[in-house]
Structure 1
Amino acid sequence: MGRFNQSRAPIYEALEEFRRDRIVPFDVPGHKRGRGNPELAALLGQQCVGIDVNSMKSLDNLCHPVSVIREAEEMAAEAFGAAYAFLMVGGTTSSVQSMVLSACKKGDKIILPRNVHRSVINALVLNGAIPIYVNPDMDSRLGIALGMKVSQVERTIQEHPDAVAVLVNNPTYYGICSDLRSIVCMAHAHGMKVLVDEAHGTHFYFGEKMPLSAMEAGADMAAVSMHKSGGSLTQSSFLLTGIGMNPGYVRQIINLTQTTSASYLLLASLDISRRNLALRGKEQFAKVISLAEYAREEINRIGGYYAYTAELINGDSIFDFDRTKLTVNTLGIGLAGIEVYDLLRDEYDIQMELGDIANVLAYLSIGDRERDMERLIGALVEIRRKYGRDNTGMYTQEYIEPKVAVSPQNAFYAEKESLPLSETEGRICSEFVMCYPPGIPILAPGEEITAQILEYITYAREKGCSMTGPEDPAIERLNVLKEEWM
């Protein structure tokens, strides 16, 4: 038994008491419990707008919590096995960036895989830390980057003993896990902090027979996207820390960028969702795994598709696999993942999490149903029959190893010029280019633009990938560093 009764939800309880008190509002928000914006109240319901309130004595303050929010954070820390937990309302982007800003300062080196979410590199743009990339292996069949090998991390640490931190994805968007415990032990032995992007790993803390969680592995910080697999409202997240971090300093870092007007809808959703997982998580995630395993078996019977799982584990670059992830490689039916993604949405009213060059991903969580899975399986059968074709000449590689020439911060703020895409080969990019989702940059500020990268951008755009990042929304031009600046 822990210190706290995990069946409680202190923020939710305080909001219910606030509702009963019928307080007269002479504060923000200006809609005044929905009365000033009836269309909003009709859309969201009185139950929702009635508790869209501002910080006040009875409801605590996220910037400096002393009562119900503080209690909710302490209960979350216990549920996740962390020393401290911070409620975050700026998405897991804010959690990831707070990790990096807490561990690194301008000029510090941080070791990380290049297949990170853009939020990591954005943090480097903000604070001037220097990325030292571990380039992961590629699975050419699946077209995805794998985890970091322990030997790769060890070599990088030896080459850069002055690095202050190591960042690890646990798991990647596609469910791939590195040997986190070994990486933590190695980094700590060299005095380096370990930061873990667990945007897609909330369930590791509550399910059985799951990959190792960051806190269990002894990591110093972890960004946990509760809204993805944990059931809270979109944009809500947790930042977890181990015993080696100063929570007061981390709070100061968070308050540099996090809003002073936190949404109590988001805070309450974190509180309630933590309670739900603490009480019922094992049972719920066992059902998720069962549904995913059934779906993989049925999809692989169709032919042409490959829904992969733990058979990929090799003890190194794929140390473990998240079996809740239902990623389907589509190249065998002659269609890019993004093409199958579009067909599922446009022809079958099925919204997948992502479609890339080679895969589609169905993000399974506690709210999925068997009948919906049957609908997806049936649609994939029809797509293969109606649209399948020869796959000769299809592009497969999602990840391209970068050539880093300038730090992200220096490149982002340097003097730049805009050039047509076709004229940028050999120049240094000063902005991001990525397919979203997954939001892993194809190009980041400070990286050399190569012929292979240009080919990939053109191919992905033609296939219909949602391309984001550059100033030019059509991605016909890119900002590059002026040659004299170099």
Structure 2
Amino acid sequence: MKERKAPLYDRLIQHQKEEPISFHVPGHKFGDIFPAEGKETFQHILSIDATEVEGLDDLHAAEEVIKEAQYLASRFFGAEDTYFLVNGSTSGNIAAILAVCRPGDEVLVQRNCHKSVLHGLELAGAKPVFFTPEYETRTHRYSLIHKELIDEALEQYPNTVAVILTYPDYFGRAYPIKEVVQAIHHHGLPVIVDEAHGVHFSLGSPFPVSSLNADADLVIQSAHKTAPAMTMASYLHRKGSRIDTSRLAYYLQMLQSSSPSYPLMASLDLARLFLSTFTESDKESLLSYITAVREAFKETDYLYEVLAVDEMDDPLKITLKAKEGYTGFQIAEQLESAGIYPELATSSQVLLVAGLIPNLEIETLKKRLRGVNWRLKSCGEHGTIKIEILNYPKVQSLAVSYQEMQQETPEFVNWSHAVGRICAESVIPYPPGIPLIVKGERMTEEQVRSVQALNKQGASFHNTAIKQGTWVF
């Protein structure tokens, strides 16, 4: 029987039981001062919403319970150091990039990366070189990376100082991460992996291999995506000797709040405890549950296909592929009307994310799905608007550097005048937050057509002005 120890959480509960008199921040005084409308809902979490008083340690100079909690996390995940992140994986991605890259450095970056990776590169003043994963007809996405692709890109750009990978993709699709990391290390380069959707991979089969098990140098995981941590709670792991830990710690202090949330940190402590005590029996129960969920969706699959999974797929992710005449956006909208909320939708797919423990009655799900059926029959009006598969270059650098763009003043133009211009603000469908067009890239006709088609289908973008046009240089 594994010891159920969560040192930070345990210390917060002990502090609460001591009935402390607060003459310090936060102003709600452990929930004593709070609007009546929300007090009952928030009370329990406010009781451990503390600050850096004696005995509760300091995230930015951890020596006691936070240090112990981070150490237990590093042992479980197989890292040499683990850092708690309270500003999301975004802060971890940016800190990792700033720790490794300096102004003017060439960095090899997976094209379908999260926007936070691009923000980190811009802040670092680096020169990104994008490589595009191969298109897989099985997933209908650019999702396959292999060592030959890495070797080819590094031969073209021999001055590269680091490689940034995204693993798995948003839909849980993995690739041979061990051989890819080995190929990068063979060139003597550090590997940063945005593993936001793979925190549970450390549980082992049937989940894909974690990039930490592949000896990646810096790995960032969103503990809140599939582990039971609070939103914004993430881990950053370090492994090996290629990373300057003093630079990493400095940028983590710079990018994270000087008043980190104790409930968020405690949830990271508890998420590690949850994962470390997850049993084979728990896995069996989970897989049976996921099979039942998949079968429930297959019973109403005349407008979508439930994509099968293999050893490179995360079984927690269930993908619905819209059939001819329908879009993922329409299917998601109708599911939501029946109280079933997917993680995201694209023009052709809908992503569902299961938790690590069965959390609903399958018959309840089936009943709601049966209620969706009749609605879907009349929702095909936008299904004939096609989104072409964009042909990204295998390897591509920016047309204009970040430094050069800082000297220019952007202008807003209608999409009809955007082709051939330099993108001045990344065009980002959200979710998933992966740029369709990146800042500094010269826009193509097919990219513009895709954005216009997505707008017509009802896609959401972080910049609402995208419906009219875009910022260009």
What is the TM-score of this pair, normalised by structure 2?
0.92
- Give the counterpart of 1:255 among 253, 257, 261: 253
Q: Return the letter of the residue paired with 2:440.
A: G
Which residue of structure 2 lines up, in the alignment, with residue 484 of structure 1? Answer: none
- One of 141, 148, 153 as aligned partner of 1:151: 148
1:439 is matched with 433
Residue 135 in structure 1 maps to residue 132 in structure 2: yes
Distance 1:249 1:58 in 2: 27
Judged with a 3 Å threshold, the aligned counterparts in structure 2 of structure 1 residues 309 and 37 are, in CA distance, closer, same or farther, namely same
Q: Assess if the C-alpha contact under 8 Å between 2:163 and 2:190 holds in 1.
A: yes
* 1:448 corresponding residue in structure 2: 442
> Aligned partners of 2:368, 2:189: CA distance in 1, in Å?
45
Do 2:385 and 2:457's aligned partners in 1 also have CA atoms closer than 8 Å?
Answer: no
Q: Deviations over 1:165-200 (max 9, x none)?
A: 112222101122121111111111111011111111
After superposition, residues 61-210 of structure 1 pair within 5 angstroms as 61-139=58-136, 143-210=140-207
Secondary structure of 1:195's counterpart equals strand
SS of 1:433's equivalent?
coil
In the TM superposition, residue 387 of structure 1 has moved relative to its aligned partner by 3.6
Give the corresponding residue for 2:329. Answer: 338
Alpha-carbon distance between aligned partners in 2 of 1:377 and 1:57, rounded to the nearest angstrom: 53
Deviations 1:312-356 (A, max 9, x none): x7xxxxxx22222101111x15211111112211x2122110011
Q: Residues 392, 386 of structure 1: CA spacing in aligned structure 2 closer, same or farther, 3 A cutoff?
A: closer
Answer whether contact 1:221 1:242 (CA < 8 A) is retained: yes
Structure 2 distance, partners of 1:142, 1:376, is 27
* Structure 1 residues 299 and 37: CA distance shift in structure 2, 3 A: closer
Say if 2:356 is the partner of 1:366: yes
Q: Is the 8 A contact 1:211 1:322 kept in 2?
A: yes
2:411 aligned counterpart, secondary structure: strand
TM-score, length of structure 1 as denominator length: 0.89
> CA shift at 1:287, angstroms?
3.6
Q: Which runs of 5+ in 2 are unaligned?
A: none
Tell me, in whole angstroms, the C-alpha distance in 2 between the residues paired with 1:474 and 1:348: 30
Contact 1:206/1:282 (CA < 8 Å) preserved in 2?
A: no
Equivalenced residues, count: 467
Q: State the one-letter code of the partner of 1:477.
A: G
Give % identity: 28
C-alpha distance in structure 1 between counterparts of 2:388 and 2:188, whole Å: 39
Give 1:462 shift.
Answer: 1.6
Per-residue deviation at 1:440?
A: 0.4
Gap regions ≥5 residues in structure 1 = 314-319, 482-486
- The residue type equivalent to 2:31 in the other structure is G
Q: Which amino acid aligns with 1:12?
A: Y
Question: 1: distance between equivalents of 2:136 and 2:28?
Answer: 52
Q: 1:407 maps to which residue?
A: 401
For residue 436 of structure 1, report the CA deviation from its aligned partner: 0.5
Query: How far apart, in 2, do the equivalents of 1:380 and 1:131 lie?
Result: 45
Q: Deviations over 1:280-316 (max 9, x none)?
A: 26544444433333433454463342222335x7xxx
Q: How much has 1:412 moved relative to structure 2?
A: 5.6
- Say what the alpha-carbon RMSD is for the aligned residues: 2.5
Describe the SS at the equivalent of 1:57: coil
How far apart, in 2, do the equivalents of 1:459 and 1:141 lie?
Answer: 23
**Contact 1:309–1:321, Cα closer than 8 Å, also in 2:** no
Aligned residue number for residue 343 of structure 2:
353
Counterpart mapping for 1:212-223 below 5 A: 212-223=209-220
CA contact (8 A) 2:427 2:466 kept: no
Task: Tell me how far apart the structure 2 counterparts of residues 258 and 273 of structure 1 sit (CA, whole Å).
Answer: 20
